Amino acid sequence: MAAPAERSVLTEAARDRGRAADVLAAGALGGCAAWALISAAAGGGRPEGVLLAVLAVASGYVCGRICGSLVPVATATAMALVGLAGAVASSQGAFGAAVTVATPPGDAGAVTALLVLAAGAACCAASAARRPRTRSALWVLALVIAGVAILLGSVVGFLATLGVLLCSLAAARTRRRAVALAGFALLTAVVVGTGWAVAEQALPEGLSASLEGQLTQHRVRLWQDAAALAKEHPLLGVGPDRFGDLSAAAAQSPVNDGKPHSAPLQQAAEQGAVGVALLGAVYGGLLFALGRSRCSTPVVLTAGAALTALAALASVGNALSFTSVTAGAGLLAGLATARPAVAPPPAAPAVWQDTVGPTRA
Protein backbone atom coordinates (compact mmCIF):
# COMPACT_ATOMS: atom_id res chain seq x y z
CA MET A 1 0.00 0.00 0.00
CA ALA A 2 1.30 3.48 -0.85
CA ALA A 3 2.51 5.69 1.95
CA PRO A 4 0.25 8.58 3.07
CA ALA A 5 2.72 11.16 1.75
CA GLU A 6 2.83 9.45 -1.64
CA ARG A 7 -0.97 9.28 -1.78
CA SER A 8 -1.12 13.00 -0.96
CA VAL A 9 1.27 13.87 -3.80
CA LEU A 10 -0.66 11.76 -6.29
CA THR A 11 -3.97 13.26 -5.19
CA GLU A 12 -2.62 16.80 -5.55
CA ALA A 13 -1.32 15.95 -9.05
CA ALA A 14 -4.74 14.63 -10.02
CA ARG A 15 -6.33 17.83 -8.76
CA ASP A 16 -3.92 19.92 -10.83
CA ARG A 17 -4.82 17.97 -13.96
CA GLY A 18 -8.49 18.41 -13.16
CA ARG A 19 -8.01 22.17 -12.80
CA ALA A 20 -6.22 22.30 -16.17
CA ALA A 21 -9.17 20.55 -17.81
CA ASP A 22 -11.60 22.99 -16.19
CA VAL A 23 -9.56 25.97 -17.38
CA LEU A 24 -9.46 24.59 -20.92
CA ALA A 25 -13.22 24.02 -21.06
CA ALA A 26 -13.98 27.43 -19.56
CA GLY A 27 -11.54 29.13 -21.93
CA ALA A 28 -13.15 27.49 -24.96
CA LEU A 29 -16.64 28.58 -23.87
CA GLY A 30 -15.43 32.10 -23.17
CA GLY A 31 -13.74 32.20 -26.56
CA CYS A 32 -17.00 31.21 -28.26
CA ALA A 33 -18.83 34.06 -26.57
CA ALA A 34 -16.11 36.63 -27.31
CA TRP A 35 -15.73 35.59 -30.95
CA ALA A 36 -19.49 35.72 -31.51
CA LEU A 37 -19.42 39.36 -30.38
CA ILE A 38 -16.43 40.12 -32.62
CA SER A 39 -18.01 38.43 -35.64
CA ALA A 40 -21.31 40.19 -35.01
CA ALA A 41 -19.60 43.57 -34.78
CA ALA A 42 -17.80 42.95 -38.07
CA GLY A 43 -20.72 41.49 -40.03
CA GLY A 44 -23.76 42.99 -38.34
CA GLY A 45 -25.01 39.68 -36.98
CA ARG A 46 -27.12 38.81 -33.96
CA PRO A 47 -24.99 37.07 -31.28
CA GLU A 48 -27.79 36.53 -28.76
CA GLY A 49 -28.39 32.91 -29.78
CA VAL A 50 -24.73 31.98 -29.41
CA LEU A 51 -24.46 33.75 -26.07
CA LEU A 52 -27.56 31.96 -24.81
CA ALA A 53 -26.13 28.59 -25.89
CA VAL A 54 -22.83 29.33 -24.13
CA LEU A 55 -24.68 30.37 -20.99
CA ALA A 56 -26.80 27.21 -21.10
CA VAL A 57 -23.78 24.93 -21.41
CA ALA A 58 -21.88 26.74 -18.65
CA SER A 59 -24.89 26.77 -16.31
CA GLY A 60 -25.59 23.09 -16.91
CA TYR A 61 -21.94 22.22 -16.36
CA VAL A 62 -21.78 24.09 -13.06
CA CYS A 63 -25.02 22.52 -11.83
CA GLY A 64 -23.74 19.10 -12.84
CA ARG A 65 -20.49 19.59 -10.94
CA ILE A 66 -22.33 20.70 -7.81
CA CYS A 67 -25.05 18.03 -7.88
CA GLY A 68 -22.59 15.37 -8.98
CA SER A 69 -20.45 15.93 -5.91
CA LEU A 70 -23.47 15.60 -3.59
CA VAL A 71 -26.15 13.30 -5.08
CA PRO A 72 -24.81 12.04 -8.44
CA VAL A 73 -27.05 9.01 -8.95
CA ALA A 74 -30.22 10.84 -7.97
CA THR A 75 -29.34 13.81 -10.20
CA ALA A 76 -28.55 11.61 -13.21
CA THR A 77 -31.79 9.67 -12.71
CA ALA A 78 -33.80 12.88 -12.48
CA MET A 79 -32.11 14.15 -15.64
CA ALA A 80 -33.03 10.96 -17.48
CA LEU A 81 -36.68 11.22 -16.46
CA VAL A 82 -36.92 14.93 -17.27
CA GLY A 83 -35.20 14.42 -20.62
CA LEU A 84 -37.58 11.60 -21.50
CA ALA A 85 -40.61 13.68 -20.49
CA GLY A 86 -39.30 16.64 -22.46
CA ALA A 87 -38.80 14.54 -25.59
CA VAL A 88 -42.30 13.09 -25.40
CA ALA A 89 -43.84 16.49 -24.70
CA SER A 90 -41.93 18.13 -27.55
CA SER A 91 -42.94 15.44 -30.03
CA GLN A 92 -46.63 15.52 -29.14
CA GLY A 93 -47.19 19.11 -28.12
CA ALA A 94 -50.28 18.06 -26.15
CA PHE A 95 -48.89 18.45 -22.66
CA GLY A 96 -45.84 19.66 -20.80
CA ALA A 97 -45.95 23.24 -22.09
CA ALA A 98 -43.38 24.30 -19.52
CA VAL A 99 -40.95 21.68 -20.79
CA THR A 100 -41.41 22.56 -24.46
CA VAL A 101 -40.61 26.25 -24.13
CA ALA A 102 -37.09 25.69 -25.46
CA THR A 103 -38.00 22.76 -27.71
CA PRO A 104 -40.92 23.58 -29.99
CA PRO A 105 -43.38 20.71 -30.54
CA GLY A 106 -42.64 18.51 -33.51
CA ASP A 107 -38.92 19.31 -33.85
CA ALA A 108 -37.29 15.97 -34.56
CA GLY A 109 -33.74 17.19 -33.90
CA ALA A 110 -34.51 18.36 -30.39
CA VAL A 111 -36.53 15.22 -29.60
CA THR A 112 -33.72 12.91 -30.71
CA ALA A 113 -31.08 14.89 -28.81
CA LEU A 114 -33.13 14.86 -25.60
CA LEU A 115 -33.59 11.09 -25.89
CA VAL A 116 -29.85 10.59 -26.32
CA LEU A 117 -29.05 12.76 -23.28
CA ALA A 118 -31.72 10.99 -21.24
CA ALA A 119 -30.30 7.58 -22.16
CA GLY A 120 -26.78 8.77 -21.31
CA ALA A 121 -27.91 10.04 -17.91
CA ALA A 122 -29.75 6.78 -17.13
CA CYS A 123 -26.69 4.72 -18.10
CA CYS A 124 -24.39 6.95 -16.01
CA ALA A 125 -26.68 6.48 -13.02
CA ALA A 126 -26.76 2.71 -13.59
CA SER A 127 -22.96 2.53 -13.84
CA ALA A 128 -22.63 4.39 -10.54
CA ALA A 129 -25.44 2.79 -8.53
CA ARG A 130 -24.37 0.63 -5.59
CA ARG A 131 -27.46 -1.55 -5.18
CA PRO A 132 -28.05 -4.25 -7.82
CA ARG A 133 -31.81 -3.59 -7.87
CA THR A 134 -31.29 0.10 -8.47
CA ARG A 135 -28.75 -0.63 -11.17
CA SER A 136 -31.12 -3.04 -12.93
CA ALA A 137 -33.99 -0.55 -12.76
CA LEU A 138 -31.82 2.12 -14.35
CA TRP A 139 -30.73 -0.19 -17.16
CA VAL A 140 -34.41 -0.90 -17.78
CA LEU A 141 -35.05 2.86 -17.87
CA ALA A 142 -32.40 3.21 -20.58
CA LEU A 143 -34.09 0.45 -22.59
CA VAL A 144 -37.43 2.19 -22.13
CA ILE A 145 -35.96 5.40 -23.51
CA ALA A 146 -34.77 3.51 -26.59
CA GLY A 147 -38.23 1.99 -26.96
CA VAL A 148 -39.86 5.41 -26.70
CA ALA A 149 -37.66 6.58 -29.58
CA ILE A 150 -39.24 3.88 -31.76
CA LEU A 151 -42.74 4.81 -30.60
CA LEU A 152 -42.05 8.43 -31.52
CA GLY A 153 -40.93 7.35 -34.98
CA SER A 154 -37.28 8.30 -34.52
CA VAL A 155 -35.16 5.52 -35.98
CA VAL A 156 -32.05 7.66 -35.60
CA GLY A 157 -32.95 8.27 -31.97
CA PHE A 158 -33.37 4.54 -31.37
CA LEU A 159 -30.01 3.72 -32.93
CA ALA A 160 -28.27 6.53 -31.04
CA THR A 161 -29.75 5.62 -27.64
CA LEU A 162 -29.05 1.93 -28.23
CA GLY A 163 -25.47 2.81 -29.15
CA VAL A 164 -25.06 4.77 -25.92
CA LEU A 165 -26.45 1.83 -23.95
CA LEU A 166 -24.10 -0.67 -25.61
CA CYS A 167 -21.11 1.63 -25.08
CA SER A 168 -22.04 1.94 -21.42
CA LEU A 169 -22.22 -1.84 -21.00
CA ALA A 170 -18.88 -2.27 -22.77
CA ALA A 171 -17.30 0.48 -20.66
CA ALA A 172 -17.69 -1.69 -17.57
CA ARG A 173 -14.78 -3.80 -18.85
CA THR A 174 -12.71 -0.92 -20.21
CA ARG A 175 -9.76 0.40 -18.25
CA ARG A 176 -8.00 2.72 -20.73
CA ARG A 177 -10.44 5.57 -21.03
CA ALA A 178 -8.05 7.73 -23.07
CA VAL A 179 -8.15 5.31 -26.01
CA ALA A 180 -11.94 5.18 -25.98
CA LEU A 181 -12.25 8.97 -25.75
CA ALA A 182 -9.82 9.34 -28.65
CA GLY A 183 -12.04 6.97 -30.62
CA PHE A 184 -15.06 9.16 -29.85
CA ALA A 185 -13.18 12.22 -31.11
CA LEU A 186 -12.15 10.40 -34.29
CA LEU A 187 -15.74 9.30 -34.94
CA THR A 188 -16.97 12.88 -34.57
CA ALA A 189 -14.27 14.10 -36.96
CA VAL A 190 -15.35 11.52 -39.55
CA VAL A 191 -18.99 12.61 -39.32
CA VAL A 192 -18.07 16.30 -39.63
CA GLY A 193 -15.70 15.59 -42.51
CA THR A 194 -18.33 13.56 -44.34
CA GLY A 195 -20.85 16.38 -43.99
CA TRP A 196 -18.37 18.88 -45.37
CA ALA A 197 -17.56 16.52 -48.26
CA VAL A 198 -21.26 16.24 -49.09
CA ALA A 199 -21.54 20.02 -49.13
CA GLU A 200 -18.52 20.27 -51.43
CA GLN A 201 -19.75 17.39 -53.61
CA ALA A 202 -16.38 15.71 -53.09
CA LEU A 203 -17.67 12.17 -52.56
CA PRO A 204 -18.06 9.49 -55.25
CA GLU A 205 -21.29 9.85 -57.20
CA GLY A 206 -22.94 6.69 -55.87
CA LEU A 207 -22.13 7.42 -52.24
CA SER A 208 -23.13 11.06 -52.63
CA ALA A 209 -26.49 10.11 -54.13
CA SER A 210 -27.14 7.63 -51.32
CA LEU A 211 -26.33 10.17 -48.62
CA GLU A 212 -28.38 12.85 -50.36
CA GLY A 213 -31.35 10.52 -50.38
CA GLN A 214 -31.04 10.09 -46.61
CA LEU A 215 -30.38 13.75 -45.87
CA THR A 216 -32.89 15.19 -48.41
CA GLN A 217 -31.96 17.51 -51.27
CA HIS A 218 -33.09 20.58 -49.36
CA ARG A 219 -30.64 19.94 -46.51
CA VAL A 220 -27.81 19.33 -48.95
CA ARG A 221 -28.57 22.65 -50.66
CA LEU A 222 -28.47 24.36 -47.27
CA TRP A 223 -25.06 22.82 -46.63
CA GLN A 224 -23.83 23.95 -50.04
CA ASP A 225 -24.94 27.50 -49.31
CA ALA A 226 -23.15 27.39 -45.95
CA ALA A 227 -19.95 26.12 -47.57
CA ALA A 228 -20.14 28.86 -50.20
CA LEU A 229 -20.58 31.56 -47.55
CA ALA A 230 -17.66 30.12 -45.59
CA LYS A 231 -15.44 30.43 -48.68
CA GLU A 232 -16.49 34.02 -49.25
CA HIS A 233 -15.89 35.00 -45.61
CA PRO A 234 -13.27 32.53 -44.33
CA LEU A 235 -12.15 34.37 -41.20
CA LEU A 236 -15.03 36.30 -39.62
CA GLY A 237 -17.99 34.73 -41.41
CA VAL A 238 -21.12 36.65 -42.33
CA GLY A 239 -22.13 37.19 -38.70
CA PRO A 240 -24.09 35.12 -36.18
CA ASP A 241 -27.69 34.30 -37.12
CA ARG A 242 -27.36 35.72 -40.65
CA PHE A 243 -27.36 32.47 -42.62
CA GLY A 244 -31.13 32.56 -43.14
CA ASP A 245 -30.87 36.06 -44.60
CA LEU A 246 -28.24 35.14 -47.18
CA SER A 247 -29.06 31.53 -48.13
CA ALA A 248 -31.10 31.04 -51.30
CA ALA A 249 -32.10 27.52 -50.23
CA ALA A 250 -33.35 28.80 -46.88
CA ALA A 251 -35.37 31.54 -48.56
CA GLN A 252 -37.09 28.99 -50.82
CA SER A 253 -38.11 26.79 -47.91
CA PRO A 254 -41.73 27.13 -46.72
CA VAL A 255 -40.44 26.79 -43.13
CA ASN A 256 -37.28 28.89 -42.88
CA ASP A 257 -35.68 28.56 -39.44
CA GLY A 258 -32.51 30.30 -40.63
CA LYS A 259 -30.31 27.28 -39.87
CA PRO A 260 -28.27 25.09 -42.25
CA HIS A 261 -28.94 22.08 -39.97
CA SER A 262 -25.28 21.42 -39.34
CA ALA A 263 -23.48 23.04 -36.42
CA PRO A 264 -19.97 22.97 -37.99
CA LEU A 265 -21.20 24.37 -41.31
CA GLN A 266 -23.25 27.01 -39.52
CA GLN A 267 -20.18 28.06 -37.54
CA ALA A 268 -18.09 28.17 -40.71
CA ALA A 269 -20.64 30.30 -42.55
CA GLU A 270 -21.51 32.67 -39.72
CA GLN A 271 -18.28 32.87 -37.69
CA GLY A 272 -15.58 31.63 -40.05
CA ALA A 273 -12.72 29.26 -39.40
CA VAL A 274 -12.13 30.65 -35.91
CA GLY A 275 -15.72 29.84 -34.96
CA VAL A 276 -15.31 26.27 -36.17
CA ALA A 277 -12.05 25.91 -34.23
CA LEU A 278 -13.69 27.21 -31.05
CA LEU A 279 -16.65 24.85 -31.45
CA GLY A 280 -14.23 21.96 -31.82
CA ALA A 281 -12.29 23.22 -28.80
CA VAL A 282 -15.43 23.09 -26.65
CA TYR A 283 -16.06 19.47 -27.62
CA GLY A 284 -12.39 18.57 -27.23
CA GLY A 285 -12.24 20.37 -23.88
CA LEU A 286 -15.18 18.35 -22.58
CA LEU A 287 -13.54 15.10 -23.68
CA PHE A 288 -10.29 16.21 -22.05
CA ALA A 289 -12.15 17.00 -18.84
CA LEU A 290 -13.74 13.55 -18.97
CA GLY A 291 -10.34 11.98 -19.43
CA ARG A 292 -9.06 13.76 -16.30
CA SER A 293 -12.22 13.09 -14.29
CA ARG A 294 -12.03 11.29 -10.95
CA CYS A 295 -15.32 9.52 -11.70
CA SER A 296 -15.27 5.86 -12.62
CA THR A 297 -14.35 4.88 -16.16
CA PRO A 298 -17.84 3.47 -17.00
CA VAL A 299 -19.43 6.79 -16.01
CA VAL A 300 -16.89 8.79 -17.99
CA LEU A 301 -17.15 6.71 -21.14
CA THR A 302 -20.95 6.62 -20.97
CA ALA A 303 -21.05 10.41 -20.84
CA GLY A 304 -18.50 10.57 -23.64
CA ALA A 305 -20.60 8.25 -25.80
CA ALA A 306 -23.73 10.37 -25.23
CA LEU A 307 -21.90 13.62 -26.01
CA THR A 308 -20.39 12.06 -29.13
CA ALA A 309 -23.83 10.92 -30.30
CA LEU A 310 -25.08 14.46 -29.68
CA ALA A 311 -22.14 15.89 -31.66
CA ALA A 312 -22.96 13.58 -34.56
CA LEU A 313 -26.61 14.64 -34.46
CA ALA A 314 -25.59 18.30 -34.36
CA SER A 315 -23.39 17.76 -37.42
CA VAL A 316 -26.40 16.74 -39.52
CA GLY A 317 -29.20 18.61 -37.75
CA ASN A 318 -30.12 21.59 -35.60
CA ALA A 319 -29.96 19.92 -32.18
CA LEU A 320 -27.71 22.61 -30.68
CA SER A 321 -30.23 25.32 -31.54
CA PHE A 322 -32.30 24.47 -28.45
CA THR A 323 -31.48 25.65 -24.96
CA SER A 324 -32.76 22.47 -23.32
CA VAL A 325 -30.30 20.40 -25.35
CA THR A 326 -27.24 22.57 -24.72
CA ALA A 327 -28.06 22.83 -21.01
CA GLY A 328 -28.54 19.06 -20.84
CA ALA A 329 -25.20 18.45 -22.52
CA GLY A 330 -23.47 20.70 -20.00
CA LEU A 331 -25.28 19.01 -17.10
CA LEU A 332 -24.25 15.52 -18.24
CA ALA A 333 -20.63 16.60 -18.70
CA GLY A 334 -20.66 18.23 -15.26
CA LEU A 335 -22.01 15.09 -13.62
CA ALA A 336 -19.30 12.95 -15.20
CA THR A 337 -16.50 15.29 -14.13
CA ALA A 338 -17.71 16.05 -10.58
CA ARG A 339 -15.48 15.45 -7.59
CA PRO A 340 -16.75 13.89 -4.35
CA ALA A 341 -17.58 16.47 -1.70
CA VAL A 342 -15.90 14.33 0.97
CA ALA A 343 -13.08 11.98 0.08
CA PRO A 344 -14.00 8.38 1.02
CA PRO A 345 -11.61 6.16 2.98
CA PRO A 346 -9.11 4.26 0.79
CA ALA A 347 -10.55 0.88 1.79
CA ALA A 348 -14.09 1.73 0.69
CA PRO A 349 -14.09 4.18 -2.24
CA ALA A 350 -17.36 5.59 -3.52
CA VAL A 351 -18.76 3.91 -6.62
CA TRP A 352 -18.99 7.22 -8.48
CA GLN A 353 -15.26 7.80 -7.84
CA ASP A 354 -12.70 6.04 -10.02
CA THR A 355 -10.97 3.23 -8.14
CA VAL A 356 -8.36 2.79 -10.88
CA GLY A 357 -7.09 6.37 -11.08
CA PRO A 358 -4.13 8.05 -9.47
CA THR A 359 -5.76 8.11 -6.05
CA ARG A 360 -5.70 4.32 -5.74
CA ALA A 361 -3.67 3.01 -2.90
Residue-level pLDDT at 17: 57
- State phi, psi for 30 to the nearest 5 degrees: -60, -40
100 or 117, which is more confident?
117
Residue-level pLDDT at 327: 96
Tell me the pLDDT band of 348, cut-offs 50, 70 and 90.
Answer: very low
Window from 184-198, 286-300, 333-347 with minimum mean pLDDT: 333-347
209 or 304, which is more confident?
304
What span, in angstroms and rounded, lies between the C-alpha atoms of 268 and 279? 10
pLDDT > 50? residue 221: yes
Residue-level pLDDT at 136: 95
What span, in angstroms and rounded, lies between the C-alpha atoms of 7 and 358? 8
Using the Cα atoms of residue 246, residue 261, residue 182 and residue 349 in order, give the sign of their dihedral: positive
Q: What is the pLDDT of residues 222-254, one digit of tens each?
A: 999 999 999 999 999 999 999 988 988 888 876
Residue-level pLDDT at 223: 94
Q: What is the pLDDT of residues 79-107, one digit of tens each?
A: 999 999 999 988 765 334 344 444 555 57
Residue-level pLDDT at 361: 36
Q: What is the pLDDT of residues 12-42, one digit of tens each?
A: 455 555 678 788 888 999 999 999 999 999 8
pLDDT > 80? residue 326: yes
Return all residues near 335 (Cβ < 8 A) that are at least 6 apart.
Answer: 64, 65, 67, 68, 72, 75, 76, 79, 121, 124, 299, 303
Residue-level pLDDT at 192: 95
Tell me the pLDDT band of 205, cut-offs 50, 70 and 90.
Answer: confident
Residue-level pLDDT at 103: 52
pLDDT > 70? residue 131: yes
Residue-level pLDDT at 213: 82
Q: Which long-range contacts (CB under 8 A, 24 or more apart) does 214-223 make?
A: 215/316, 218/249, 218/253, 219/261, 219/316, 221/249, 222/247, 222/249, 222/250, 222/259, 222/260, 222/261, 222/262, 223/195, 223/198, 223/199, 223/260, 223/261, 223/262, 223/265
Tell me the average pLDDT of the chain.
Answer: 85
- State phi, psi for 295 to the nearest 5 degrees: -70, 165
Residue-level pLDDT at 50: 95
Tell me the pLDDT band of 145, cut-offs 50, 70 and 90.
Answer: very high
Q: Which percentage of the chain shows pLDDT scores above 90?
A: 66
